[in-house]
């Protein structure tokens, strides 16, 4: 028996935007490589163009509203997993279905801007009965699926969207949790620091 899942329109939109951005980056890389191939005798001009584009990224980030520019100041941090306590339990909801509930505690000093987890429900014999992959921390807090960042010292309780049927006894289930991805927020440099760092390059 597998877990049933729902996908909200906002999640579908987020996945669509991510796919478009990934495709755009791949297409851009292909164009750059092709350009390097056909005009390699003008390599200095190509390198200068690429450098100009990358130099413009900080200015673009600075021109965005703070709520958006802050999203660019995070990093993948697998080492920070040791600062998280994640427990899973299984409960029966008001419809009689069995659903996993996560308790996530951030014991460290960093703000978690993105946290993706994979949860599996195992029978008494160790057979997987269901699995879930869900994002439980996001850069912005928008709705039930965009839950917002996990602040230092905070504890979050999350009921996952998928469920198992009424015939499953939650008391007989064992849950496993895997951290699939984690990013932490990085303090952006002050305007004066950014300018001095740029002039020193």
Q: Residue 39: beta bridge partners? A: none
> Is domain 75-185 classified as CATH 2.30.110?
no
Q: Give the DSSP H or E segment for 49.
A: helix 43-63
pLDDT in tens, 140-196: 888 777 899 999 999 999 998 877 877 888 889 999 999 999 999 987 666 555 555
What are the domain boundaries of the chain?
9-63, 75-185
Edge-to-edge strand ranges of the sheet holding 155-159: 84-92, 98-106, 155-159
pTM of the complete model beyond 0.75 = no
CB atoms within 10 A of CB 80: 19
Residue, of 118 and 7, whose pLDDT is higher: 118
> pLDDT: is 171 or 25 the higher one?
171
Assess contact for 183 and 77: CB atoms under 8 A. yes
**Higher model confidence: residue 131 or residue 34?**
131
């Amino acid at each position: 028996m597998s877990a049933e899942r729902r996908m909200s329109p906002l999640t579908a939109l987020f996945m669509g935007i991510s796919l478009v951005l990934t495709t755009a980056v791949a297409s851009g890389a292909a164009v750059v490589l092709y350009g390097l191939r056909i005009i390699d005798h003008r390599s200095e001009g190509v390198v200068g163009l690429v450098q100009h584009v990358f130099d413009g990224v900080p200015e673009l980030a600075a021109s965005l509203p703070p709520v958006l520019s802050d999203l660019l100041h995070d990093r993948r941090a697998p080492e920070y997993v040791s600062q998280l306590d994640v427990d899973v339990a299984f409960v029966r909801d008001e419809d009689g279905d069995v659903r996993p509930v996560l308790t996530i505690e951030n014991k460290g000093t960093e703000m978690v801007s993105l946290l993706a987890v994979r949860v599996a429900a195992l029978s008494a014999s160790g057979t997987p009965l269901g699995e879930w992959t869900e994002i439980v921390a996001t850069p912005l807090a928008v709705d039930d699926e965009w839950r917002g960042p996990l602040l230092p010292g905070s504890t979050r309780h999350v009921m996952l969207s998928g469920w198992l049927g009424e015939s499953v006894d939650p008391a007989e289930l064992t849950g496993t949790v895997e951290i699939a991805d984690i990013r932490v927020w990085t303090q952006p440099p002050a305007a004066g620091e950014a300018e001095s760092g740029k002039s020193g390059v």
